[in-house]
Each structure stands twice: as C-alpha cells, then as structure tokens.
Chains A and B, each alone.
Chain A
Amino acid sequence: MSEHWLDRLQRWAPYALTPLIVLAALPAMGVGPWVTLTVAGLTMGIMLFLVASGLTLIFGLMDVLNFAHAAFVTVGAYVTVSVLRPLAGWTTEFSLTLNLIALLVALVSAAAASGALGFVFERVIIRQVYGAPLRQILITIGALTVIEQLVIVLWGPQALVLPKPASLRGSVFLGSSPIETYRLVALAVGLAVAVAMHLFLTRTRLGLVVRAGVEDREMVQSLGYHIRRVFIGVFMAGTALAGMGGMMWGQYQELVTSQIGDSMTILVFIILIIGGLGSVGGCFIGAILVGLTTNYVGFLAPKLALGSNILLMALILLWQPRGLFPLAEH
C-alpha cells in the first residue's frame, strides 16, 4: 500500500516541481519582484521551448542529435531583421495592430526561411548520416560553422539592431510590479505555438504517428506509414520552430549577431536533458524551469546565476537520471 503511494508520488512529483519552485521563490523576494521575475522567467522559458522542442522531436523521432540547430535560430533572427526593415513604417507607428501584424509577418517569414533551410539540410546533410551518431555530431558542428559564416557573408559581420515595435516598448504594471510589454506578447505567442503543437500531437493522425515514431519507428512502418516522410516533416517543423525562437529572442534582445543561436545552445541542451530526451511535454516543463531558475537566481544570488542551470540539471539528474519525463529509449 505504501509502495503504491510512493509510486504515485514519484509519478506526480515532476509535475509539482515547477509550482513548488515558484511558490518557494515568493517569500524569498517579496511580491513585487516575484511577479516581475516570474513573468520574465515564463517568457524566457517559452522562447527557449520554441527552440528546444524542435530539437527534442528531431532527436526523439529520428535519433539525430543536430548540433547545427542553433544555426536555424540565427537564420530566423536575421530574416526577421530583413523582413522588418521594409516594414519600419509599421513598427515605428504607435499602433498595436500594425505592430502585431509586422511581428506576425516576421514570425511567419522566420519560420518559413528556417523550415525551408531545414528541408535542404535534411536532404543534403542529415540523410547521409542516419544511424551514425559520431558522423552526425561532426557534420552538424561543421554545418553550424558554415551556416554562421554564410550569415556573416550575407548580412555582414556587425551586430544588427532590431528595435521593438513602438507600442511594445516599455512596461505595464501588474499591481505595483512592472512587466515588459514585449514579454507579455512573447509569452502569448509562445503559449499559442505550444498549444497548437500540443493539439497537433494529440488530436491529429500525423501527430499520433510522430508520437508513436518516437517510441518505435519500425512498428510505425509496419503499420503502413512512411517514416522517412515523417522525418522530413518533423525536421522542417523543428527548424521552423527554431527560426521562430530566433525571431522572438532577437526581437527581445533588440540586437542580432551571428552568435545568437550559439548563445542559446547550452540552455537548450540542458532543457532537453532535464525534460527527458524526445519528450515534448518534458521539454516544455524543462524550458519553464530553466527560465524561472535563471531569473530567480539572477535576482537572489547574482554570482550563482551563470551556474544555476547546470546545478539544476545536476540535481534533477541525481533524482531522475533519465530526466523528468523520459520517452525515447536512447
């Protein structure tokens, strides 16, 4: 009976971890900073989720560890710069509607460009190295460098400014707590994408095939599905999500460099490991945990901020060696 109780606790504890951290932070910092940092942490988490979810799906379904994933973030950010420049009239106008339309155009363009590049990347590079992990690592790290250099060739070596749209600058107040307006928009967009992704994976036949493929590709083929075609679709979707993440991150920082993707890489891999490789739900919770931890620790103990996520990962792995929601058997 007690074992049964412990089993249930073990199953539900990973879900309880995030709310517990949020609640534990409240008495440590007071209501005002807590509200601001919680929203900031959720926003950061949701942007990281966009990037990490594509990578975890690609790994879970295709067994491909794509170290070039950061390049698609970078491409998404640079495409955003190129798309928003001619739309400067819409972004400098103090009109929420025009500003949001401009952001939507940039978001779709970044996703389309990164997804299209992802298609070519899968056909030309990844296809050659299925089932060869060492070659995957080498060739994707090489590809990352090549794409970043091509970005410099196309857009130049200097950092590019990407100002936020006029009506999304500044803050709104939640009680006495200031919340950056852009963060709220980013949070809403990120949540919408996350919900759409969840609905796709749980309510559609193709989503079902993807989830099944993460568990047993061979059986999926034996049921009549062409898993290679699903691979291409998932790779494109994963890279498109990275492009969206790059767009939102670049807009948030208001500065785009060829290293923008690299700057997220370590956090993204920490999220994958925390969440459990191949698990989209785990990736979501892992991303939120990383976002919240970064913000809370940065406020409470700034000197620990840099290492806080490594520490978080280490503690979670000591507790759950395969991550919070392990899925793929790798």
Chain B
Amino acid sequence: MTGADDDALLRLDGIHTDIGRYRILHGVNLTARRGRVTALLGRNGAGKTTTLRTIMGLWKARQGRIIFDGQSIAAMDTPHIARLGIAYVPENMGIFGKLTVRENMLLATAPNGFAEPYLNRVLESFPALKLKWDSAAGSLSGGQKQMLAIGRAIVEPRRLLLVDEPTKGLSPAMVDQLVAALRRLKSEQTTILLVEQNFRVAEAIGDDVAVMDEGRIIHSGDMAALAADEALQHRLLGLRMAAGL
C-alpha cells in the first residue's frame, strides 16, 4: 500500500469512535486514493456509517488521525470539514422535504449561487430533477430523493464524496441510473468513498475495496481481485449470493 499512500486524498490511521458508552470503531485504518472509488463493504453494524460520520466530524474520533490532503481534520467541526470540499450523502439522504428541489440544491452551492456547468451536469445525469425543480422535495419518490441527494453533493466542485448506501431500497432501473451517474463522476476523476451493501454495484463502480467487521478493517485491496475471488468474497462478506445480487 506504499504506492496507495502516496496518492491518498484521505487517510484514517487507528481511528477509534465511541457512541455513548459503546466503542464502535476499533482502530480503523483506511485510505481513499485520488480520482478513485473506494468501496467500503461489510455487514450491518460493521461500522461503515460510523466511519463516514467520523470523517465528517458528526461523531468525534476518540483516538487516531484523519488526514485529508495532508491536513489533519479529526478535531475540526463538521461545517469546516464540509468547506474543505468533502460532500456527504447520508444513508437517509438528508433531504429537506419542505424545501423545493431547487432550494435543496441551492443550499449546497457557494454564496453566489449555482455554477452553470455543475448544475447542468446534475440535470443531465438526473433529468427527473429538472421536471420537479419547483416541487417540494418531500413529494419525490425514493429514487428521485436519492438523485437529489447525490445531485446536491456534486452541484459544486468537490474533492471527496462520501456516499452511504445510495442504492438501498431502490428499484433495479433506479439503481442502474445511479450507477451510471456514479460512473460518470468516476470518469471525471472524482474521489469517492462509497459504502454499499450491494456487491454488484460496488464491483461495478469500485476501484479499491475495504471490508469492515466489528469496527475494524479486515481486508483492503483492489476491487478487481476481490471480485475475481469468490472464496474470498464468501469468507469476508458471506457472499456466495454475491453473484445473484
């Protein structure tokens, strides 16, 4: 991983995070390389969401270092971290249901409003958002809300995207659309740390992979290697069914 460390945009070293009295992360070491998609896999309760929330400063690391582009961010507050160019798409999507689609997007822009090229990219990737532009976001379908959540994250230039289970609960057609949008971002060299339960999606997008269990990284390496090794998938993820997902 020496080469990986050289082009690491984000690096977590020995991160421990507690929620209340419970320790959830037990020394997580994780790297997200520039311009690549790192898929973070693991069963429910493994600590994937906690890892993303710790990176965003929503839960504070009790111990360890988080280095973003050479800068330590573990002690920073969430707004400061966001302003470094890190966008977060939470598992619940974080949509403001009473605001319109336009207002949801506007909140994620710089003070001078929408940057046309980025807005156009979002609307090309997710045409449904254009049709619902002035509708309350709460009236969107689950898939449209996910499009809005991801669109909002990329309506400004970002250096790192943290995306938590974007395909959860979506129809296959909607999943395909999201995968296409994430692939487009990948082709534009956007660095993405993607938490995903659907191995087929993670395999389709991911360059690198890290697998978590009980608050630790138990495997990291190339996605292609994991995708090619069914026995390893089964051992790490219990995924004999991976092919069927």
Contact = CB atoms under 8 A, between A and B. Distances in A.
A179 B216 CA distance: 73
B94 A222 contact: yes
A211 B79 CA distance: 17
Nearest to A209: B107
Given A212-B107, A219-B90, A224 B82 contact: yes
A212 B99 contact: yes
Given A208-B107, A209-B107, A224 B79 contact: yes
A226 B58 CA distance: 13
Given A211-B96, A211-B98, A215-B98, A222 B111 contact: no
Contact of A225 (B56, B79, B90, B99): B79
Given A218-B58, A219-B90, A208 B78 contact: no
A223 B99 contact: no
B51 to A, nearest CB: 15
Nearest to B111: A205
Nearest to B88: A222
A327 interface: yes
Contact of B103 (A208, A216, A225, A327): A208
B97 A223 contact: no
Nearest to A327: B98
Interface string A197-239: 0000000010011011001101111111111000000000000
Contacts of B106: 205, 208
Contacts of A219: 90, 94, 96
Contacts of A216: 94, 96
A217 to B, nearest CB: 10
Interface residues of A, number: 18
A226 B77 CA distance: 9
A208 B88 contact: no
A219 B88 CA distance: 9
B94 A221 contact: no
A211 B106 CA distance: 13
Nearest to A226: B79
A215 to B, nearest CB: 5
Contacts of B58: 218, 221-222
A227 B58 CA distance: 13
A223 B107 contact: yes
Contacts of B79: 221, 224-227
Contacts of B83: 224
Closest 3 interchain pairs by CB? Answer: A219-B94, A224-B82, A221-B78
Given A211-B103, A212-B96, 10 more contacts: A205-B111, A208-B103, A208-B107, A211-B98, A215-B98, A216-B96, A219-B96, A221-B58, A223-B82, A327-B98
